[in-house]
Amino acid sequence: MSDDLTEVQAAVVPDGFVINLWQRGFGRTVGPFYSKRDLVTNDEIMAFRVEEHHANGMGNCHGGMLMSFADMAWGRVISNQREIGWVTVRLTTDFLSGAHMGEWIEGSSEIIAEQDDVFTVRGRIWCAERTLMTGTGVYKGIRSIQRKPGEREKRGA
């Protein structure tokens, strides 16, 4: 293990996940984030490992981090399925369990309604078999982000 990595950072990333190479902004600050395609459903699953910079004063994942992650993981379905960039209108969540230092957290969502570039999604955040949070998000599509075939895979984002 390198001297500049913590135990959490050096932990093994589960099979199939690739790092999302965010070069700037909030995602870079609170990451790293990972993603993979579920081979059964073809849904994208986004993930992160709880590190020290995600923790609250009790050493658990901060609720604000889980909300931020839910916002990104749940809105991402719009980018992936409709190739539209988006902004958040409303995020409603229910916290059901906490996340602890070093745990691998995953999240995904599905579009349940869309009208006039306004999308409603239903999402879930989990750790292994434990659901951490559920909720809905309302997002406004703001611009096309059409990608060339294979572009997302090359960038790792």
The pLDDT mean for the chain works out to: 86
**In the chain, at which residue ranges do the beta strands (DSSP E only) sit?**
18-20, 33-37, 44-49, 84-95, 104-115, 118-127, 130-144
Region 124-136 average pLDDT: 97
Q: What is the pLDDT of residues 106-118, one digit of tens each?
A: 999 999 999 999 9
Determine the pLDDT at residue 64. 95
CATH architecture of the domain with range 15-145: Roll (3.10)
Residue 102 belongs to what H/E stretch?
none
Domains of the chain: which residue ranges? 15-145
Q: Is the peptide bond before 32 cis (omega within 30 degrees of 0)?
A: yes
